[in-house]
Amino acid sequence: MKLYNKICGEELKHRLLESSEERTTLSFYKYAHIENPELFRNQFYRMLDEIGVFGRIYVAKEGVNGQISVPTANFEALKQRLDSIDFLAGIRLNVAIEDDGKSFFKLTIKVRGKIVADGLDDHSFDVTKRGQHLSAQDFNALTDDPGTLVVDMRNHYESEVGYFENALRPDVVTFRDALPLVEQMLENEKDTNIVMYCTGGIRCEKASAYYLHKGFKNVFMVDGGIIEYTRQCGEQGLPNKFIGKNFVFDERLGERISEAVVAVCHQCGGPCDTHVNCANDACHLLFIQCPACAEKYRHCCSSKCAEFSQLPEAEQVRLRKTEIFNGTKFTKGRYKAFRQGEDLVMG
């Protein structure tokens, strides 16, 4: 049995796009003690590959973090296989809100030092002493109090397209960056009710334990993150306080929660919340682009990238060694050509 995919990515993408098979996208995570992550990874790969699971899963000594899709016909088989693993038995599966089944095209399972890169010394505090989980109903009630602080523990390019009402949104590129910045932002709020949220809940599990360790008294987190909150609101008919789109780390790059568009196109400045990657693979910058600019720039982040992508492949390969593109200059979502001037738009 193979333990990794051996077919090229473009071929797998083509197969997925052409397939009519109904698939369900979901995420899950669990902090646990895994003695031999490499052995677990290989066994887990076999188990999931047999039922057609695609996705991205990280395994570490501290647990498992996965975003996957599974043939809908095999959804119960997936649950049974997860239930056969002691620490994953009964685990909550956060099913995607807006799903066309085209989220992942292959299965990748990697062994990492941590299931979420946080830069923390886990031996310095008890990660099991975490904040209090809030249901959607409890979140709405607590955040109706104007004295409650809501904190977005995601990255800036995630919160740019959607967020909870009145949330503090740190301008960071990574979760590792967010932890000390949020602590600094809240240094005078040790006794205040603080509610944190993220996409599926995993970042807040660790962050809440860390902030309790740092002396914050009343730390809460949205149980299951934005995904579970939205599901509960829909099922229970509750007001949904999330505005805009929920950024997701798969081929979809987002799922709509409300009709509000809170972001702008990074090229023209018009209302838009569609994340794309620059079509020039030598750049591949993540940015927001409206349909008009997509047509104007051939789905690229600049005229330079648009022109480069039209060159013969051999010429592109030769020039990649010396050319600098926006993806070289900027981190995810930092590029905003309409604010920086046509000189950068033109590359």
CA-CA distance, 274 to 255, in Å (whole number)? 10
Local structure of 347: helix, strand or coil:
coil
pLDDT digits (tens, 9 = 90+) for 19-48: 778 999 999 999 999 999 999 999 999 999
Judge contact between 128 and 261, C-beta under 8 A: no
pLDDT reported for residue 192? 97
Query: How many domains in the chain?
Result: 3
CA-CA distance, 102 to 288, in Å (whole number)? 20
Confirm whether 253 is domain-assigned.
no
Q: Is 204 a catalytic residue?
A: no
pLDDT at 18 > cutoff 70: no
pLDDT reported for residue 12? 64
CA-CA distance, 62 to 59, in Å (whole number)? 8
pLDDT at 101 > cutoff 70: yes
Confirm whether 1 is domain-assigned.
no
Nearest 10 degrees: Cα torsion 141, 145, 149, 152: 40
Do 91 and 158 belong to one domain?
A: no
Helix H, strand E, coil C: the string for 209-234 is: HHHHHCCCCEEEEECCHHHHHHHHHH
Do 191 and 290 belong to one domain?
A: no
Confirm whether 292 is domain-assigned.
yes
* Distance between first and last Cα of the chain: 47
Helix H, strand E, coil C: the string for 112-147 is: CCCCCCCCCCHHHCCCCCCCEEECHHHHHHHHCCCC
pTM over 0.75: yes
Pick from 154, 189, 150, 188: nearest CA to 167: 150
Nearest 10 degrees: Cα torsion 101, 104, 109, 113: -110
Q: What are phi and psi of 13, to 5 degrees?
A: -60, -45
CATH of the domain at 97: 3.30.70.100
Tell me the mean pLDDT in the region 315-332: 91
Tokens for 122, please give them: 């886990």
Do 134 and 239 belong to one domain?
A: yes
pLDDT reported for residue 102? 86
Confirm whether 254 is domain-assigned.
no
| Helix spans in the chain (H) | 9-18, 37-49, 75-83, 136-143, 156-159, 175-185, 202-213, 225-236, 291-296, 303-309, 313-319, 326-329, 337-340, 342-345
User: Which domain does 23 fall in, by range?
Assistant: 9-111
Do 140 and 107 belong to one domain?
A: no
Across the chain, mean pLDDT equals: 91
Tokens for 282, please give them: 């030598």
Pick from 202, 286, 294: nearest CA to 250: 286
pLDDT digits (tens, 9 = 90+) for 244-275: 999 999 989 999 999 999 999 999 999 999 99
pLDDT at 141 > cutoff 70: yes
Confirm whether 217 is domain-assigned.
yes
Tell me the mean pLDDT in the region 217-229: 96
pLDDT digits (tens, 9 = 90+) for 165-177: 999 999 999 999 9
- Between the alpha carbon of residue 234 and those of residues 62, 237, 241, 257, the distances in Å are 33, 5, 12, 11
Do 18 and 92 belong to one domain?
A: yes
Confirm whether 250 is domain-assigned.
no
Active-site residue, from 198, 204, 283, 301:
198
Do 222 and 285 belong to one domain?
A: no
pLDDT reported for residue 346? 33
Tell me the mean pLDDT in the region 295-321: 95
Do 142 and 234 belong to one domain?
A: yes
Q: Quote the DSSP letter at residue 87.
A: G
CA-CA distance, 301 to 325, in Å (whole number)? 9
More confident residue, 218 or 19: 218
pLDDT reported for residue 345? 40
pLDDT at 222 > cutoff 70: yes
